Amino acid sequence: MIETRVTRLLGIRVPIVQGGMQWVGLPPLVAAVSNAGGLGVLTALTQPSPQALREAIRETRKRTSKNFGVNITLLPSINPPDYEGYARAAVEEGVRIFETAGNNPGPLIAYFKSQGCTVIHKCTTIRHGKSAEKKGVDILSVDGFECAGHPGEEDIGGLVLFARAAKELKIPFIASGGIADSRGFAAALALGAEGINMGTRFMCTVESSIHQNIKEKIVASTEQDTLHIFRTLHNTARVFKNKVSQQVVALERRPGGAKFEELRDLVSGARGRLVYENGDPEYGIWSAGVTLGLIDDIPTCEELVVRMERETEEIIEGLGKLRTRQAKL
């Protein structure tokens, strides 16, 4: 059994947290991860309104008696969603674990802490981690450059970033990005993390609601099948390499670059959602991490979590056997 400050703070058996993924963090997956011993996370903005989030929370609770969380990601937007409404709805429904991400999370963090909630904050730099620490968050989710979605603009891989986090941060952190198997889990613990966050790996499970074609595409893909879009807009995102994302990159690389207005239709969330619903991996932009190269099956969440827990313990025990004592002369 792998017990850390993260398992104690979150009330879970295994320090594995499911990423708060847009269009993916739905009740069947969330409940399955929590039932398996990890922490499932509903994605608030996947739901069209705070009331819809209430209904998703109730559905999740019907499927599990275990703890689960809600992710609220603050997006750069001219017409921002009703973040306060989503937060209030979740708290009123009894959720006490939240993951925040994005810009200026201070007001949300303050509200959650005033309600006695445990807060995980996602960050991509030590600087931002320290800032969140001062705001009172309980756990940091530190994203390395390998992650799906937004890795920040500093391009620091997990091997260095997690070791830095262990040296610099006072509160526990979970490692995110580039982790999809027991070797990654054990490595994260060795680097000082007290748990891990997995997104792409949980997309490719039986209980994930995305189309079977996309799951099979993940299995068939390698670590070379992602690319970054929005580099020139300083809003970098790692996504699956397909015709649409390659077109976006080509437009960005033109002399003078590309304005977001020129890319809007290509990168629209509606198109990305249809990828998951209709199963055409070429139809729109969808997030994927370099862990594509580590995924070769579609297990249930329970099979995945139990396997990773067992194998990670075996790796840790095996490393202990590498110690040698100097022979007496």
Compute mean pLDDT per 10 residues along the chain, 329 residues long, and list them: 96 98 97 98 98 98 98 86 97 98 93 98 96 97 96 95 98 98 98 98 98 98 98 95 98 94 94 97 98 98 98 96 70
67 is written with which tokens? 């703890």
Q: What pLDDT does 323 receive?
A: 79
Question: Which residue in 274, 298, 160, 103 sits closest to 217, CA to CA?
Answer: 298
CATH code at position 92: 3.20.20.70
Q: What pLDDT does 1 receive?
A: 87
Q: Are 253 and 320 in contact (CB under 8 A)?
A: no
Residue 71 lies in a domain: yes
Residue 56 sits in the same domain as residue 200: yes
CB-neighbour burial class of residue 307 (10 A; exposed 0-12, middle 13-18, buried 19+)? middle
Residue 188 sits in the same domain as residue 55: yes
| 234 contacts: CB under 8 Å, gap ≥ 6 | 153
Residue 99 sits in the same domain as residue 145: yes
Residue 291 lies in a domain: no
Residue 22 lies in a domain: yes
Residue 205 sits in the same domain as residue 230: no
Residue 284 lies in a domain: no
Residue 183 sits in the same domain as residue 207: yes
Q: What pLDDT does 325 receive?
A: 67
Residue 262 sits in the same domain as residue 174: no
DSSP string, 294-307: G------HHHHHHH
Residue 283 lies in a domain: no
Residue 192 sits in the same domain as residue 234: no
Count: domains in the chain: 2
**CB atoms inside a 10 Å sphere around CB 94:** 9
* Distance from chain centroid for Cα 23: 13
Residue 167 sits in the same domain as residue 255: no
Residue 127 sits in the same domain as residue 264: no
243 is written with which tokens? 């015709």
Residue 285 lies in a domain: no
Residue 10 lies in a domain: yes
Q: Are 204 and 219 in contact (CB under 8 A)?
A: yes
**CB atoms inside a 10 Å sphere around CB 58:** 12
Residue 272 sits in the same domain as residue 181: no
Residue 234 sits in the same domain as residue 124: no
Q: What pLDDT does 29 receive?
A: 98
Residue 139 sits in the same domain as residue 271: no
Residue 170 lies in a domain: yes
Q: b or e along 159-189 (b: 16 or more beta carbons within 10 Å of the residue's beta carbon)?
A: eebbebbbeebebbbbbbbbbbbbebbbbbb
- Structural domain including 241 reads 226-278
